[in-house]
């Protein structure tokens, strides 16, 4: 029986609905990306992940390691789970804030400041995660970003009603205290965000892509297979990368 096609936006809606993470109590389910790496390359990949996290280009510093066989991969492979940015959307939704994820793309950063989206793929127009596609096309320059503070990074955009802006900022503060950051920009009502027009009476929020660390490792020649927005996982199963 053929598997029915599913647009990415439908998958996002399913996962967002399943998020019940409480940033104050620091418990509940979050969404993770899964990257599969040969065990012999694991140490080098983890070091790259640490550099990306230290540079503020990840959603959180928490990851999980899962034996490849547990998820249907080879015994010589390890799976790295890191926090997906739609976890933030799930937390906002559970707080009563309507969230509309728009697209994944590439943001140009100059001297540490995000300037504009250079590429984008709409969630409602593709069955493949946009950040996976953009990574496969080598449109990022994360290694350059890590070394000199300028480059192209993965990010995504969502919009929320402008009347919810204050509550959004409160929830983002709670998330930041729990170690979940990666917010590149929160726009003003009815104002473009990084060159992208936002719907009337809405505010745009740009968050770094959760797969930036994997993209950086791929740039460096590591053989990763990345599955963005892979699954829900309990927060308690994650550990700070410095404890790995």
Each residue of 53-75: pLDDT tens digit? Answer: 999 999 999 999 999 999 999 99
In a domain? residue 57: yes
pLDDT at 77: 98
The number of folded domains in the chain is 1
What is the pLDDT at residue 147? 94
Closest CA to 232 of 84, 88, 127: 84
Per the prediction, the chain carries an average pLDDT of 95
DSSP-based helix, strand, coil % in the chain, nearest 5 = 35, 35, 30
CB 39 within 8 A of CB 69: no
Judged against a pLDDT cut of 80, whether residue 5 lies above it is answered with no
**What per-residue confidence (pLDDT) applies to 1?**
45
Q: Which of 13, 66, 44, 28 minimizes the C-alpha distance to 174?
A: 28
Are the CB atoms for 227 and 82 separated by under 8 Å? Answer: no
| CA–centroid distance for 106 within its chain | 12
Identify which of 87, 114, 95 has the alpha carbon closest to the alpha carbon of residue 178: 87
The CATH number of the domain holding residue 237 is 3.30.70.1360
3 in a structural domain: no
Query: Residue 215 domain-assigned?
Result: yes
153-191 pLDDT, tens digit per residue, is 999 999 999 999 999 999 999 999 999 989 999 999 999
pLDDT band at 2 (very low <50, low <70, confident <90, very high): low
Query: pLDDT at position 4, please?
Result: 66
Q: Is residue 217 in a domain? A: yes
Q: Cα(218)–Cα(214) distance, rounded to whole angstroms? A: 6
Q: Summarize the confidence of residues 220-236 as an average pLDDT.
A: 95
Tokens matching residue 128: 């493949």
More confident residue, 3 or 199: 199
Find the domain containing 174 and state its range.
Answer: 8-243
Distance CA 227, CA 34 (A): 5
pLDDT confidence bin for 3, thresholds 50/70/90: low
Pairing of strands 202-208, 77-83: unpaired
> Does residue 21 belong to any structural domain of this protein?
yes
Which helix (H) or strand (E) segment is 142 a member of? Answer: helix 142-148
Structural domain includes residue 26: yes
Lowest mean pLDDT among 73-87, 125-139, 148-162, 216-230: 125-139
Domain membership of residue 1 (yes or no) is: no
* Long-range contact pairs involving 190-199 (C-beta distance under 8 Å, separation at least 24): 190/162, 193/157, 194/107, 194/114, 194/115, 194/116, 194/117, 194/157, 195/116, 195/117, 196/102, 196/117, 196/120, 196/157, 198/159, 199/100, 199/159
User: How confident is the model over 36-57, as a mean pLDDT?
Assistant: 98
Q: Whole-model pTM?
A: 0.94
Within-domain flag for 2? no
């Amino acid at each position: 029986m053929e598997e029915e096609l599913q647009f990415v936006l439908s998958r996002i809606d399913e996962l967002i609905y399943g998020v019940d993470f409480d940033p104050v109590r620091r418990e509940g389910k979050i969404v993770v990306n899964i990257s599969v790496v040969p065990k012999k390359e694991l140490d080098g990949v983890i070091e790259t992940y640490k550099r990306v996290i230290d540079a503020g280009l990840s959603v959180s510093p928490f990851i999980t390691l899962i034996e490849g066989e547990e998820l249907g991969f080879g015994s010589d492979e390890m799976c790295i789970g890191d926090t997906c940015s739609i976890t933030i959307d799930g937390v906002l939704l559970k707080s009563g804030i309507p969230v509309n994820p728009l697209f994944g793309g590439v943001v140009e950063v100059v001297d540490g400041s995000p300037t504009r989206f250079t590429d984008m793929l709409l969630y409602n127009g593709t069955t493949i995660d946009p950040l996976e596609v953009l990574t496969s096309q080598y449109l990022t320059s994360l290694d350059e970003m890590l070394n000199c503070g300028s480059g192209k990074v993965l990010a995504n955009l969502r919009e929320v009603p402008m009347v919810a802006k204050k509550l959004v900022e409160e929830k983002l503060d709670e998330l930041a205290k729990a170690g979940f950051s990666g917010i590149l920009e929160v726009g003003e009502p009815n104002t473009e965000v990084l060159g992208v027009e936002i719907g009337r009476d809405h505010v745009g929020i740009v968050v770094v892509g959760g797969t930036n660390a994997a993209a950086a490792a791929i740039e460096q020649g590591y053989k990763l297979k990345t599955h963005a927005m892979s699954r829900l996982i309990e927060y308690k199963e994650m550990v700070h990368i410095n404890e790995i």
